[in-house]
Amino acid sequence: MSDQNLSNGSFGDLPETRDESQIVIKDLWKIYGRDPKRILKKELRNLSKEEIQKKTGCIVGMKNINLNIEKGKFYILMGLSGSGKSTLVRSLIRLVNPSSGSITINGENITKMNHEQLLQFRRKTFGMVFQHYGLLPHLTVLDNAAYGLKVKGMPKGERYAKAMRTLETVGLKGWEDYYPGSLSGGMQQRVGLARALTNDPEILLMDEPFSGLDPLIRRQMQDELVELQEKMQKTIIFVTHDLHEALKLGDRIAILRNGEIVQEGTPEEIVTQPADAYVQEFVRDASPAKVLTAGSIMEEPHILLYAWEGPKTALTLMHSKKRKSAFVINKSRKFLGVVTTGSLERLLALPERPSGIPESSLKKVSTVTEDTILEDLFSIVSENPYPIPVVDENGKFKGKVTTDQIFESISPLEGDEHV
Ligand SMILES: Nc1ncnc2c1ncn2[C@@H]1O[C@H](COP(=O)(O)OP(=O)(O)O)[C@@H](O)[C@H]1O
Ligand SMILES: [Mg+2]
């Protein structure tokens, strides 16, 4: 892997190539202009995009890109206009031919494929959604959605049945016989999405698909895409220059500048540890409340009681730790509720003391999972006097989040003047 850690790149810490990477991009360059090979020679390759353009008249589209993308991830490419996002996403299907480097998808090096192999591979593996919809105006919504299957040679009945199903998935049932021109922008983009999905591609490429839409429609489309992806679990490469869109949708984000990747990581890493001033500028308006999760700030509780513990033991423990309430779990660590010293004292006063802590003396409180973002925790802490228990999808106890922790984690770092 040492060849990935190129000293001339600004991107030193690359993730190791792992087996689960579906897309592996190595040392990828694109030079637009005459004789790109001469620029890839030693003297020129280390110059900046601007210097290369001044000296040679060629434009650097991608410079030494190294990237691994895992199957099923929602992967965001972000950067200012002209930073190389479209060049990169298009090179994945060789709508742009890289000048050097390799792209391996599902173990196949697509930079080595001939025209015929490439066509087949594209049809089998990819769906693409563009900013400007790219619909065929003289075909109905149904024919547009079924277009990819027609190209594949699927019989009419079969391809229409499939296309109807995807149109329904994207909320366009009843619009099959209309022409694209009579649909709103949002609906046309739904057709674009349906067309890409009808093929049931493994990898979905989306180049600023929502950029042309009104803010409200755009947000609605984002929500629906999130929901759809929960079900589909496809690999999605999504280009945007909108940080909020990136944070809402992405599992991981790569930030491009002048054809290079300047930072790659989870939304949380990008927002909390921007690599340089360019990234910082991007994330300036990002609220940590939208990216930090309960899992990233949770702590161990002071005490954790087991339901079979006697009320007397529990009370002694709570007194010794000066706690008025405690979380209670069962043998398999499932979270059961909160017990207070008051309710334990009432149990002790009963003529027949129970041997454990009965469910009836527990307060039920709202729980959250590790991926709950802080923004969603605010409303829960405000209506709840206890710390919030964090549980996994089976209800197993993982940790607690307190109001203090939430506010500490979103306050500015230079917090000294804030008491
Ligand atoms: N066909 C082309 N010929 C020459 N230069 C191009 C071509 N396509 C893109 N570029 C240049 O490559 C750089 C990256 O462009 P692009 O990938 O479209 O960026 P983005 O999608 O991030 O806006 C820009 O400087 C752009 O001007
Ligand atoms: Mg672009």
Specify the residue with its C-alpha closest to ligand 1, atom 26: 82
User: Do 277 and 300 share a structural domain?
Assistant: no
Does residue 5 form part of some domain? no
Neighbours of ion ligand 2 (CB under 5 A): 86
**Average pLDDT value for residue range 31-38:** 88
User: Do 253 and 313 share a structural domain?
Assistant: no
Three-point CA angle 174, 180, 183, nearest 5°: 65
414 has pLDDT over 60: no
Quote the CA–CA distance of 307 and 294 in Å, as a whole number: 25
Quote the CA–CA distance of 332 and 396 in Å, as a whole number: 7
Q: Mark which of 288, 311, 332 sits at the end of a domain.
A: 288
Reported pTM? 0.77
34 has pLDDT over 80: yes
Does residue 197 form part of some domain? yes
Does residue 416 form part of some domain? no
* H-assigned helices in 57-181: 85-91, 115-125, 141-145, 147-151, 156-169
What distance in angstroms lies between residue 368's CA and the mean position of ligand 2's atoms? 38
Residue 389 in contact with ligand 1 by CB distance below 6 A: no
User: Do 248 and 307 share a structural domain?
Assistant: no
Query: Residue 139's pLDDT is what?
Result: 96
Does residue 58 form part of some domain? no
User: Whole domain around residue 362: which residue ranges?
Assistant: 295-410
Q: For residue range 78-123, what is the model confidence (pLDDT) as tens digits?
A: 999 999 999 999 999 999 999 999 999 999 999 999 999 999 999 8
Say which DSSP state 221 is in: H
Query: Residue 411's pLDDT is what?
Result: 66
Does residue 372 form part of some domain? yes
Query: Residue 416's pLDDT is what?
Result: 43
User: Do 271 and 256 share a structural domain?
Assistant: yes
What distance in angstroms lies between residue 40's CA and the mean position of ligand 2's atoms? 24
Number of domains in the chain: 2
Residue 239 CA: nearest ligand 1 atom is 21
Query: Percentage of the chain with pLDDT > 90?
Result: 68
Say which DSSP state 58 is in: -
Quote the CA–CA distance of 206 and 224 in Å, as a whole number: 15
User: Do 378 and 327 share a structural domain?
Assistant: yes
Among residues 90, 70, 87, which one has the least CA distance to residue 23? 70
User: Do 164 and 144 share a structural domain?
Assistant: yes
Is the pLDDT higher at 217 or at 75? Answer: 75
Q: Mark which of 234, 256, 288 sits at the end of a domain.
A: 288
Quote the CA–CA distance of 310 and 356 in Å, as a whole number: 5
CATH, residue 249: 3.40.50.300
415 has pLDDT over 80: no
User: Do 162 and 181 share a structural domain?
Assistant: yes
Contact indicator for 60, 31 with CB cutoff of 8 Å: yes
Q: For residue range 270-284, what is the model confidence (pLDDT) as tens digits?
A: 988 999 999 998 888
Which of these ranges, 17-21, 92-96, 289-293, 300-304, has the smallest mean pLDDT?
17-21
Rounded mean pLDDT of the chain? 89
What distance in angstroms lies between residue 78's CA and the mean position of ligand 2's atoms? 10
Does residue 369 form part of some domain? yes
What number of CA atoms fall less than 13 Å from residue 316's CA on the CB side? 5
Residue 9: pLDDT band with limits 50, 70, 90: very low
Provide the residue count of the chain. 419
- Helix 311-320 / helix 341-349 crossing angle, nearest 10 deg: 140
User: Do 321 and 251 share a structural domain?
Assistant: no
Is the pLDDT higher at 161 or at 375? Answer: 161
Query: Residue 412's pLDDT is what?
Result: 53
SS3 state at 269: helix
Residue 82 in contact with ligand 1 by CB distance below 6 A: yes
Is the pLDDT higher at 413 or at 219? Answer: 219
- Residue listed under structure tokens 């009419």: 156
**Average pLDDT value for residue range 227-248:** 92
User: Do 346 and 273 share a structural domain?
Assistant: no
Residue 212: pLDDT band with limits 50, 70, 90: confident
Quote the CA–CA distance of 6 and 12 in Å, as a whole number: 7
Which of 48, 83, 257 has most ligand 1 atoms within 8 Å of CB, for mutation?
83
Query: Residue 19's pLDDT is what?
Result: 57
CATH, residue 374: 3.10.580.10
> Cα dihedral angle (315, 317, 320, 323), rounded to 10 degrees?
-70
Say which DSSP state 15 is in: P
End-to-end CA distance of the chain: 48
User: Do 329 and 204 share a structural domain?
Assistant: no
Q: For residue range 126-145, what is the model confidence (pLDDT) as tens digits?
A: 999 988 888 999 999 999 99
User: Do 151 and 269 share a structural domain?
Assistant: yes
Does residue 128 form part of some domain? yes
Residue 240 in contact with ligand 1 by CB distance below 6 A: no
Does residue 279 form part of some domain? yes
What distance in angstroms lies between residue 81's CA and the mean position of ligand 2's atoms? 7
Specify the residue with its C-alpha closest to ligand 1, atom 18: 86
User: Do 397 and 284 share a structural domain?
Assistant: no
Burial class (CB in 10 A: 0-12, 13-18, 19+), 140: middle
- Residue listed under structure tokens 């105006």: 137
Query: Residue 282's pLDDT is what?
Result: 83
Q: Mark which of 268, 288, 308 sits at the end of a domain.
A: 288
Query: What single string gives the DSSP state of each residue in 160-193?
Result: HHHHHHHHHHTT-TT-TTS-GGGS-HHHHHHHHH
